[in-house]
Amino acid sequence: MAVWIEDNKCTGCRKCAKVCPYGAVEVQGERAVLKDNCIECGVCLRSCKFGAICSDLVATPIPDLSGYRGVWVFAEQRGGMLSQTSLELLGCATGLAQSLGQEVAAVLVGDQVSGLAASLTASGADKVYLVENRGLGHYRPLPYVKVLADLVSQYRPNIFLLGATHVGRDLAPRLSARLDLGLTADCTELTIDPKSKNLYQTRPAFGGNVMAVIESPRTRPQMATVRPGIMKALTPDSARRGEVIRHQADLVPKDLRTRILEIVKEQKQRVDLTAARIIVGVGRGACDAEGIKLLSELAWVMGAEIGGTRVAVEEGFVPPERQIGQTGVTVRPELYFACGISGAIQHRPGILNARYIVSINRDRQAPIFEVSDYAVKADLFDVVPKLIDVLKREPA
Ligand SMILES: Cc1cc2nc3c(=O)[nH]c(=O)nc-3n(C[C@H](O)[C@H](O)[C@H](O)COP(=O)(O)OP(=O)(O)OC[C@H]3O[C@@H](n4cnc5c(N)ncnc54)[C@H](O)[C@@H]3O)c2cc1C
């Protein structure tokens, strides 16, 4: 593609210079000039109301996508247990589907999992596409991708959401590549643009310094993975009924390729921080032997779980699976008790769904105070022992 400016039409209004993300347009006198660093991205084309910026790009018309309908959620299950993330996605899908006037469908894949369909309809699914096959008993990428690609090709959904879980992060890119679709990974917000009815997919970018809003206007389904703990599940309504559509998995041995010989469960005790009611957050300010002992005792008297910042993880005081934030987990407790945490931009997305945030920090300017319901400007080594004493005497 080539981009050029027709001098006789340019008025030097500077609009193109303002929109150019690369600073590649300079106005010299009353004429705009493209500089050497222009990458011909074409962003300036629409800004010129005088038709002075030209390009040999032939815009391909957007295909008719009206035949794609419905908001689908991949209902992730393991050993017959639905993941909480799938229920959260159904809650989100319900809001999106209402904005579009379309239905919510869950895609349930596994071996003898039909009993889970009722939970999915109770949590918002109008339809459940059920695929049962012995070869689908445990998650394996190749057969799962094949089954989902068949379903999408046959039923043509408008939107397809998966959790940004271990399985979702493996499955979604494979599926989008198979179907030649775009995919926005790790979304933190999903909305429908009222004008275009496209899905606006928001996710942190550039180390969390900007929130990028991404759309896929030319392909369907619009695919996104969503971080666990971000969306809100609906209160299940067991009276809700939905349609279950059985789909035959057409699997041949070459679709399976791998055999699962044994599943060895990790012995390590894993904690589900996303389900914790109270969390004591450990920051650098508490990162020494005395600090961690104090906060562990506080957590114990409060019946809380311990979580922490990336610094606390890197310093070895909090296990990696308890890191909260952009590259950790997103939590939704009743109370988040931030101790010695500055409130960096990468930590905050993980805690903003807490009902109450209480923070202790000795720096009055600490950004954590901006998002706190109660801010204690003090040294945690003074405050926390007193709090523990009170709680021991008068348990919450
Ligand atoms: C790509 C990327 C991803 C990241 N992902 C994450 C993430 O997922 N989660 C995350 O948390 N971070 C993440 N980080 C790191 C993040 O930028 C911050 O460095 C980190 O959150 C800071 O942790 P902190 O608040 O414990 O430490 P600091 O920022 O050093 O803050 C320590 C605070 O403790 C206070 N303090 C010190 N002593 C006391 C005391 N005795 N009493 C009271 N207050 C005290 C200080 O005033 C200070 O405000 C990421 C960074 C990058 C670049």
Query: How far, in Å, CA of 179 to CA of 157, rounded?
Result: 13
Q: Tell me which residue has its CA closest to atom 6 in ligand 1.
A: 346
Residue type at position 250: D
Which token pair is 54? 């030209």
- Give the per-residue SS3 of the chain: CCEEECCCCCCCCCHHHHHCCCCCEEEECCEEEECCCCCCCCCCHHHCCCCCEEECCCCCCCCCCCCCCCEEEEECEECCEECHHHHHHHHHHHHHHHHHCCCEEEEEEECCCHHHHHHHHHCCCCEEEEEECHHHCCCCHHHHHHHHHHHHHHHCCCEEEEECCHHHHHHHHHHHHHHCCCEEEEECEEEECCCCCCEEEEEEECCCCEEEEECCCCCCCEEEEECCCCCCCCCCCCCCCCEEEECCCCCCHHHHCCCCCCCCCCCCCCCCHHHCCEEEEECHHHCCHHHHHHHHHHHHHHCCEEEECHHHHHCCCCCHHHEECCCCECCCCCEEEEECCCCCCCCHHHCCCCCEEEEEECCCCCHHHHHCCEEEECCHHHHHHHHHHHHHHCCC
Is the minimum distance from the CB of 359 to ligand 1 under 6 angstroms?
no
What pLDDT tens digit does each residue of the chain (396 aa) get?
688 999 899 999 999 999 998 999 999 988 999 999 998 888 898 889 999 999 887 667 788 999 999 999 999 999 889 999 999 999 999 999 999 999 999 999 999 999 999 999 999 999 999 999 999 999 999 999 999 999 999 999 999 999 999 899 999 999 999 999 999 999 999 999 999 999 999 998 876 678 899 999 999 999 999 988 889 999 999 999 999 999 999 898 888 889 889 888 766 556 789 889 999 999 999 999 999 999 999 999 998 999 999 999 999 999 998 999 988 999 999 999 999 999 999 999 999 999 999 999 999 999 999 999 999 999 999 999 999 999 988 755
* Spatial CA neighbour of 131 closest among 118, 157, 112, 155: 112
Count CB-CB contacts under 10 A for residue 193: 13
Cα of 223 from ligand 1 centre, angstroms: 33
**Residue 73 in contact with residue 93, Cβ under 8 Å?**
yes
* pLDDT at residue number 396: 54
Closest ligand 1 atom to 341 CA: 25
Which token pair is 138? 């445990």
Among 273, 347, 386, the mutation site with the greatest number of ligand 1 atoms within 8 A of its Cβ is: 347
Q: Tell me which residue has its CA closest to atom 51 in ligand 1.
A: 346
* pLDDT at residue number 272: 80
* pLDDT at residue number 267: 62
Is the minimum distance from the CB of 32 to ligand 1 under 6 angstroms?
no
Instruction: Sketch out the chain's domains with CATH numbers.
Output: 3-55 (3.30.70.20), 71-256 (3.40.50.620), 273-393 (3.40.50.1220)
Q: Record the pTM.
A: 0.65
**Residue 189 in contact with residue 352, Cβ under 8 Å?**
no
Query: How far, in Å, CA of 121 to CA of 128, rounded?
Result: 7
**Residue 249 in contact with residue 143, Cβ under 8 Å?**
yes
Cα of 347 from ligand 1 centre, angstroms: 7
* pLDDT at residue number 395: 55
Closest ligand 1 atom to 381 CA: 41
Buried b (16+ CB within 10 A) or exposed e, 7-39: eeebeebebbbeebeeebbebeeeebbbeeebe
Is the minimum distance from the CB of 362 to ligand 1 under 6 angstroms?
yes
* Spatial CA neighbour of 359 closest among 378, 343, 337, 334: 337
* pLDDT at residue number 227: 86
* Spatial CA neighbour of 97 closest among 172, 148, 157: 157
Q: Tell me which residue has its CA closest to atom 26 in ligand 1.
A: 283
Is the minimum distance from the CB of 284 to ligand 1 under 6 angstroms?
yes
Which residue matches tokens 């699976």?
Answer: 321
Cα of 147 from ligand 1 centre, angstroms: 43
Cα of 202 from ligand 1 centre, angstroms: 24
**Beta-sheet pairing, 278-282 with 335-339:** parallel
Query: How far, in Å, CA of 333 to CA of 341, rounded?
Result: 17
* Spatial CA neighbour of 116 closest among 160, 141, 83, 80: 80
